[in-house]
């Protein structure tokens, strides 16, 4: 079973308007509310790929109930930890004429020690053959070692994990050998406090994450495609041409495509191909991509061996 952990899920309130003028009253042309959060997006893509997963995380208050209501129509298997404080609302603003996407993400609910303990207790059921995908920010009063603590707990029982976070929290988990990590090119540069000007620079620094323990490194590069770096080789996936509608969740979709396919095939190249298809398909969709779009985009992705 694949478990996704979204410690800080959200209602994504996606607003479309022609132009965003800060400091003025702006009115939208169209708006939608989506069940959001990185792990939730991963579970939704897995569902599209007909792969089972269980979504875990902290959900609470009136916004938590709306979030669960929004999620219902996607028929995901969930086992959320109920908390007293409110699930956050994240605002995503697509200014179509400016071709700009602005995101304002809330801090999330305060999680009490008892609620956290309830969550940790759930980790006991995860074991051999399971993969846990942990991603996204942490809600308030949750210590930065949260993902590391979980990785240690589940690994003791023989489960694998995937982590999509940034900075020191990511580096700390590498010695535990995550199945895959997926910084984008900017996050990778920040990790090493440097600029990465060429593809070779990116590959060299991705390789440092392998040296520190990651089993596979994906580097997503938005409209420039993505790289897969393994111990011996580096591969590139092109970003197919298409109209970007809402790229929120493209990175999560890429992880879902990679992990879901890897669980079935153990083939990193095919997993990369499917991951890239899921990422671009979501960028070309208003919401997280559906299977038909993923299958269509898959046909226009080529994987090239760079070294």
Closest C-alpha to 80, from 4, 137, 2: 4
Task: Report what 256 binds from ligand ATP, ligand F1X, none; CB cut-off 5-8 Å by kind.
Answer: none
How many residues make up the chain in this entry?
307
Respond yes or no: is residue 172 known to be catalytic: no
Rg (CA), the chain: 19
> Coil, helix or strand for 64?
helix
Task: Report what 174 binds from ligand F1X, ligand ATP, none; CB cut-off 5-8 Å by kind.
Answer: none
| Minimum separation from the CB atom of position 88 to ligand F1X (A) | 8
Task: Report what 173 binds from ligand F1X, ligand ATP, none; CB cut-off 5-8 Å by kind.
Answer: none
Judged by CB, which is closer to ligand ATP: 81, or 135? 135
Task: Report what 10 binds from ligand F1X, ligand ATP, none; CB cut-off 5-8 Å by kind.
Answer: ligand F1X
Token reading at 4: 């996704």
Question: Residue 273, exposed/middle/buried by CB under 10 A (0-12, 13-18, 19+)?
Answer: buried
Judged by CB, which is closer to ligand ATP: 60, or 249? 249
Residue 109 in contact with ligand F1X, rule: CB under 6 A: no
**What are the residues facing 220 on neighbouring strands?**
184, 226
Judged by CB, which is closer to ligand F1X: 234, or 280? 280
Q: How many CA atoms lie within 13 A of 114 on its CB side?
A: 3
Q: Do the beta carbons of residue 300 and residue 281 sit within 8 Å?
A: no
Residue 275 in contact with ligand F1X, rule: CB under 6 A: no
| Residues in 30-59 that interact with ligand F1X by CB under 6 A | 36-38, 41
Q: Within 10 A of 172 (CB to CB), how many other CB atoms are there?
A: 16
Judged by CB, which is closer to ligand F1X: 43, or 271? 43
Residue 164 in contact with ligand F1X, rule: CB under 6 A: no
| Minimum separation from the CB atom of position 239 to ligand ATP (A) | 4
249 Cβ contact list (under 8 Å, min separation 6): 36, 38, 41, 282, 288
Binding site for ligand F1X (CB under 6 A): 8, 10, 12, 36-38, 41, 90, 103, 105, 136-137, 248-249, 251-252
Q: Which residues are catalytic?
A: 252
């Amino acid at each position: 079973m694949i478990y996704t952990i979204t410690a800080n899920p959200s209602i994504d309130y996606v607003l479309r308007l022609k132009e965003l003028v800060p400091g003025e009253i702006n009115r939208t042309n169209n708006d939608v509310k989506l069940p959001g959060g990185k792990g939730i997006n991963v579970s939704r893509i897995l569902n599209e790929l007909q792969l089972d997963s269980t979504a875990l995380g902290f959900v609470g208050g009136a916004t938590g109930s709306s979030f669960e209501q929004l999620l219902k129509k996607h028929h995901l298997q969930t086992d959320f930890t109920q908390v007293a404080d409110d699930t956050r609302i994240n605002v995503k603003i697509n200014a179509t004429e400016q071709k700009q996407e602005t995101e304002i993400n809330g801090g999330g609910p305060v999680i009490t020690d008892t609620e956290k303990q309830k969550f940790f207790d759930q980790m006991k059921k995860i074991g051999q053959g399971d993969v846990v995908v942990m991603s996204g920010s942490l809600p308030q009063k949750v210590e930065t070692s949260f993902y590391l603590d979980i990785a240690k707990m589940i690994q003791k029982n023989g489960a694998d994990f995937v982590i999509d976070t940034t900075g020191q929290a990511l580096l700390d988990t590498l010695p535990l050998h995550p199945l895959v990590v997926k910084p984008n090119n900017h996050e990778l540069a920040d990790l090493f406090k440097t600029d990465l000007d060429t593809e070779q620079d990116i590959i060299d620094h991705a390789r440092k994450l392998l040296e520190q323990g990651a089993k596979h490194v994906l580097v997503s590069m938005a409209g420039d495609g993505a790289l897969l770096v393994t111990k011996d080789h580096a591969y590139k996936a092109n970003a197919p041409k298409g109209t970007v509608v809402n790229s929120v969740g493209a990175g999560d979709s890429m992880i879902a495509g990679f992990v879901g396919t890897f669980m079935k095939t153990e083939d990193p190249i095919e997993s990369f191909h499917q991951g890239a298809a899921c990422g671009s398909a979501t960028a070309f969709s208003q919401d997280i991509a559906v299977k038909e779009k993923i299958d269509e985009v898959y046909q226009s992705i080529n994987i090239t061996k760079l070294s």
